[in-house]
Every structure is written in structure tokens, then in C-alpha cells.
Amino acid sequence: MSAVVWQAVMILSSYVLLDSSVQGCSPGWFGQHCDFQCNCNVSLSCGSQGDCPPNERCKLGFFGPGCQYVDLAARSSGASSPPYLFDNDETSCNPDSQATSVLYALTHGTPVSWFRIYSRYNPRQYSFHVKINGFGPYDDERQYLVNQHVVDVMWGEVYEIKDITIVGNIAPTICSIQITTGRNVALKQFANQSSVFNGAQGQASNAVDGYTSDKINGNSCVVTREEAPAIWRLYFRRPHIVSRAYVYSS
Ligand SMILES: *[C@@H]1O[C@H](CO)[C@@H](O)[C@H](O)[C@H]1NC(C)=O
Ligand SMILES: *[C@@H]1O[C@H](CO)[C@@H](O)[C@H](O)[C@H]1NC(C)=O
């Protein structure tokens, strides 16, 4: 069997650049080319910059400008990570008031250059450093205060991260963390493939339509005929530096 059968492709690039918007995208999409997907926690649609309605937030698994950063902490948490860290709720915090460190483990090693910490109080009052896979701190660690509750931790290079330990007196105040390698730049880009099984169903664009379900209208997958080589190919509207690609298979 050499047919390509995929539901979705997610290709992550480190930078979030929101296009200036034009009207007329179908519901659930925004941006100049309508290739940014809305990621609000209730509504399907969003504002012209991906902004969510007043009583909403980004849905689980997304954060940042226009809810475009893919949050790996919400998608790939290991058994040893306490749930308050990745429950999409910044009001549930570390129950251990004596904690001296907090460990977050991913299910598999992932290249990461920065992550975000939400604290119950102003992170400026605390000192901490970060260990990666049990080692560190690293000389190139930098901390940037984002607002009264949020601090971003960055490194000068990309490390293959299996787990992160936050060490210091900020530990008892930590409420959530978000880890990202960027946004999905595959969405709504041009794709084609060597053949399409079963007419219009199974066409190449199904892998970049934003749906990972195999049940959307019965035509959410890419399916080629059985052939060698079976090829699916993606063309970007503009170049991206890509750190990671995911393929969702049926
Ligand atoms: C959506 O987010 C808002 C604001 O944080 C929250 O009050 C609400 O419960 C959330 N709804 C769902 C369905 O997650
Ligand atoms: C896919 O599209 C590219 C660019 O338009 C074209 O050169 C190529 O022949 C196409 N491939 C297939 C298999 O249709």
C-alpha cells in the first residue's frame, strides 16, 4: 500500500505575523489571504486580528496575538506535569505554597526557544531560573516581563526540550505555562498531489483546511490512488523558517 491518506498537516514556524485584514473571509478565518484560523474558546468567528469576543479567550491549545501560537504544553503534557499548569485557566495555581520548583514534562523531546509563565502575582517580585532536561541554568537564558502576571523565558538558541524545571521562589505562585514552537503556517496554503482517489473527495487541500477530524463532511482527508510514488506537496505563499511538521493520519 502506498497511497497517501492524511487528515491534516501542521507546520510550525516561529514567527507570528498577522496580515492586515480585508473583509470577506468565510466564518472562522481572517487575514489578508484568509489563511489565519480563528481560535476562540466559544465562537467560531473572531475579529479582523483574530481577537475574541469580550467574554471569551483563546481556546485550549492556542495563545498569544490572534490566538495563533500553538501551545505545546496543552497538547503534549507528560504524566508528571501537574494539571493546573496546562488547563487553560490562569486562576488555578500551584496548591503547594512551600514549593521550591515546578516541573513540566512533554511527552517527547521538542525543539523550543521560548515559553511563557503565568504567575498569581507580579513575576518581577521573584527570582528564578530554568533547567532544561535536568541541566542548567543556561547562560543564554533571558526573562522578559510581559505584564503584571506574565513572564517569557527565552534562550539564545533552540533546545530540544523534554522537560522544564522552574527553580526559585516564584514556584508557589505559578498558575500556567505555555510552550510553543510557533504557529501553523500550513493552513490554507496551496497543496497538490500525484492523484486524487474518488473524484473531488480526498483532494490535497483537505490536509490544510484547519480540520483534524476525519468526519467533517466525509471529505476531510487527503487520499491518493495506490501508486508509487504517492506524493502530496505543499507550496507556501511566502517563505517560512520551519521548526516542526505534524501529520495527522486517519
Ligand atoms: C471561555 O472563556 C471565558 C473567559 O475566560 C470563560 O469564562 C468561559 O467559561 C469559557 N467557555 C468555555 C466553553 O470554555
Ligand atoms: C502542483 O502544482 C505545481 C505548481 O503549480 C505544478 O508545477 C505541479 O506540476 C503540480 N503537481 C501536480 C502533481 O499536480
Residues 167, 113 within the same domain = yes
Please report whether residue 229 resides in a domain. yes
Range of the domain at 143: 73-183
**Within this chain, do residues 143 and 179 fall inside the same structural domain, yes or no?**
yes
Which ligand is closest to the CA of 92, given by its number?
A: 1
Give me ligand 2 centre to Cα 106, in Å: 38
188: cell is 490554507
User: Cα–Cα distance between 78 and 107 in angstroms, integer?
Assistant: 5
Q: Are residues 149 and 203 in the same domain?
A: no
Residue 1 confidence (pLDDT): 42
Are residues 179 and 202 both part of a single domain?
no
Per residue in 167-194, is it b (16+ CB within 10 Å) or e — as a string?
beebbbbbbbbbbbbbbbbbbbbebebb
State how beta strands 36-37 and 242-249 pair.
Answer: unpaired
Task: Convert the pLDDT of each residue in 35-86 to its tens digit.
Answer: 999 999 999 999 999 999 999 999 999 999 999 999 988 877 777 789 999 9
Residue at 31 is within a domain: no
Give me ligand 1 centre to Cα 74, in Å.
Answer: 16
106: helix, strand or coil: strand
Same domain, 124 and 155: yes
Q: Is the CB–ligand 1 distance for residue 57 below 6 Å? A: yes
**Which of 166, 183, 200 is the endpoint of a domain?**
183
42 lines ligand 1 (CB under 6 A): yes
**195 and 171 within one domain:** no
Decide if 234 is inside a domain: yes
Domain limit, last residue, from 168, 183, 198: 183
In a domain, 158, yes or no: yes
75 φ/ψ angles, rounded to the nearest 5 degrees:
-100, -20
Query: Could you tell me if 129 and 217 lie in one domain?
Result: no
Model pLDDT, residue 33? 92
Asked whether the beta carbons of 173 and 99 are under 8 A apart, the reply is: no
Q: Are residues 133 and 201 in the same domain?
A: no
Q: Tell me if 61 is assigned to some domain.
A: no
Q: Tell me how far the alpha carbon of residue 37 lies from the centroid of ligand 2, in angstroms.
A: 25
Are residues 86 and 166 located together in one domain of the fold? yes
Return the CATH number at 80.
2.60.120.260
Residue 85 shares a structural domain with residue 169: yes
Q: Residue 104's pLDDT is what?
A: 94
Give the sign of the dihedral formed by CA 169, CA 175, CA 179, CA 182.
negative
* pLDDT at res. 246: 86
**pLDDT at residue number 220:** 80
Name the strand (E) or helix (H) holding 75.
helix 72-75
Q: Which ligand is nearest to the CA of 204?
A: 2
Asked whether 92 lines ligand 1 (CB < 6 A), one says no
What is residue 117's predicted lDDT score, i.e. its pLDDT?
Answer: 97
> Is residue 109 classed as helix, strand or coil in its secondary structure?
strand
Name the residue among 239, 188, 193, 219 with its Cα closest to residue 25: 188
Q: Is the CB of 90 under 6 A from ligand 1?
A: no
Residue 59 lies in a domain: no
Question: Looking at the domain assignment, is residue 33 inside a domain?
Answer: no
* Rounded-to-integer distance, Cα 181 and Cα 226, Å: 34
Separation of CA 35 and ligand 2 centre (Å): 20
Same domain, residue pair 86 and 161: yes
Quote the number of domains for the chain: 2
Confidence at residue 101, expressed as pLDDT on a 0 to 100 scale = 97
Model confidence, pTM:
0.84
Residues of the chain under the 50 pLDDT cut: 1, 21, 216
89: exposed, middle or buried (C-beta count within 10 Å: 0-12, 13-18, 19+)?
A: middle
Could you say which ligand is closest to the alpha carbon of residue 57?
Answer: 1
Same domain, yes or no: 144 and 240: no
Determine the residue type at 104: Y
Centre of ligand 1 to C-alpha 43, Å, is 10
Q: Which of 38, 39, 40, 41 gets mutated to test ligand 1 (max ligand atoms within 8 A of its CB)?
A: 41
Q: Distance between CA 166 and CA 171 in Å, rounded?
A: 7
Q: Is residue 42 part of a domain?
A: no
